[in-house]
Amino acid sequence: MSGTPIECEHMETYIARQPILDPARQIQAYELLYRNSNQNRFPLEENSRASESMLEHALIQFGIPWLAAQRDVFINIDREVLLDGSYQDLPPEQVVLELLEHVESDAEVLEACKRLKSLGYRLALDDYTFHPEMDELVQIADIIKVDLREGDAWKDGVKVQQLLNRGKTLLAEKVECRSEFEQACALGYTRFQGFYFSRPQMMHKPELGGNILACTRLLSAVSCHPLDLDHVVEIISSDPTLSYKLLRYLNSAAMRRNQPISDIHRAILLLGDAPLRRWAGLVSLRALNLENREDLLLASLTRASMGESLAQQTPRLADRAPEFFLCGLLSLLDALMDIEMTDLLEQLSLEKEMNAALLGGYGELGQMLRLARAYEDGHWQEMEEAGKILGLEASVCGEAYLKGVRWAESTIAES
């Protein structure tokens, strides 16, 4: 077996989330705030890359559904993200894009804002100060955020009414006391944010990384034109962490579907060319080499190959071979990442049978995992029982396992 180390990130990723409330003090949305440590403050030293990092954290590390809790989320974007369109993997029905106050409203920015709106996103202006040079952006925006700590302009009833007459939603931010909240309500503000209601809430998750060499191969593959989908499938399928990230990304992204995802090839087709290249770039560039997890990777690849091979040899299961492969590939994710399987599956759009197999060993997929585990542990009677349920001879199961080991070792050596 190759001595090539298989690395897996094991760091923490942080985000702060501050609620946005209505006049009845009910939470209607959250603003997501970039954090790079467990210190609940914005890291000024990373100001230039905060928007890009926030997109990565929200889409890949956390997932919009988990962060949003069935509410809208406000996500800050700077000029670079606005112009390059990298926000387009966010679901427009759930995301409000908040243009930072330092972005100048030149022709390029105005055109990009119109394009953003045409894609179905809502636009919010951050720290609006009632200055006339912002008028063209105000015309495009849906939500105007007014900082109550920036002078007394927010109290000007005439100016506030002018915005309301233009159909704008006014959000009072940095509300620090009850009197400010009540005065803003009386003026016509309908959304509120600030320490009077809640300080930003820190949230963290283990940062999930992939095999750094697999990530390097993936980055190289998605840089090619035209894209060789079969090659991309091969790279992602050889790494459980990348497979998990792709599936969770699909669950968070705008192109996610109601139908469940059952294999990596289908997941890539659902994602599409351009979003796949963006996703692969983000994941590859963030990969870190911290731990050797070759034993667990070998076992999960072996299970994947064994399940696929046995399914292909069984006429009634042949069409489901990719599902058996994916089930084996994901079967040791909890051990690979030191995260409970239930937490991992919460963010994946898998079929109920696969969830049941991974959590409790149920169904035909579960029997295949039971068979693989029994072979690994040398429990021959249990292996024969699981094989009989699936209509498989013990000798066939043994051959598939050994074939799986050879394929797994080869895959690791080639990576």
What pLDDT does 115 receive? 95
| CA gap 111, 117 in Å, rounded | 10
For residue range 50-64, what is the model confidence (pLDDT) as tens digits? 777 777 767 666 777
Q: Are strands 122-128 and 95-99 parallel, antiparallel or unpaired?
A: parallel
Contact 33, 17 (CB under 8 A): yes
411 phi/psi in degrees, rounded to 5: -65, -45
Nearest to 194 by CA among 145, 239, 123: 145
Half-sphere exposure of 374 (CA within 13 A, CB side): 19
Neighbours of 251 (CB within 10 A): 19
For residue range 256-272, what is the model confidence (pLDDT) as tens digits? 556 667 678 888 888 88
Contact 67, 58 (CB under 8 A): yes
Q: Is the pLDDT reported for residue 45 higher than 60?
A: no
On average, the pLDDT of the chain sits at 81
For residue range 58-96, what is the model confidence (pLDDT) as tens digits? 766 677 777 887 899 999 998 988 998 888 878 899 999
Contact 213, 287 (CB under 8 A): no
Q: Is the pLDDT reported for residue 145 higher than 50?
A: yes
For residue range 395-412, what is the model confidence (pLDDT) as tens digits? 888 899 999 999 888 767
Longest Cα–Cα distance of the chain, Å, equals 84
- By residue count, the chain amounts to 415
For residues 331 and 170, the model is more confident at: 170
Q: Are strands 143-147 and 169-173 parallel, antiparallel or unpaired?
A: parallel
For residue range 218-242, what is the model confidence (pLDDT) as tens digits? 766 776 668 888 888 988 888 888 8
Residue type, 277: R
Q: Is the pLDDT reported for residue 372 higher than 50?
A: yes
| CA gap 410, 415 in Å, rounded | 9
Six token digits for residue 399: 């051959």
Region label for 63, one of left (φ > 0), alpha (ψ between -120 and 50) or beta (otherwise)? left
For residues 262 and 324, the model is more confident at: 324
What pLDDT does 303 receive? 92
Per DSSP, the three-state class of 126 is: strand
Q: Report the predicted TM-score, pTM, of the whole model to 2 decimal places.
A: 0.59
Q: Is the pLDDT reported for residue 278 higher than 70?
A: no
What pLDDT does 290 receive? 36
Average pLDDT (23-29) is 95
What pLDDT does 4 receive? 33
Please state the separation of Cα 191 from the chain's center in Å. Answer: 27
Average pLDDT (343-353) is 70
What pLDDT does 70 receive? 85
Question: Where do the domains of the chain lie, and which CATH numbers do they carry?
Answer: 10-204 (3.20.20.450), 209-286 (no CATH), 294-414 (no CATH)
Average pLDDT (29-49) is 68
Please state the separation of Cα 47 from the chain's center in Å. Answer: 22
DSSP string, 255-321: T--SSPP-SHHHHHHHH-HHHHHHHHHHHHHH-------HHHHHHHHHHHHHHHHHHHTSGGGGGGH
What pLDDT does 5 receive? 33
Angle at 220 between CA 215 and CA 223, to 5 degrees: 125
Nearest to 87 by CA among 61, 110, 120, 65: 120
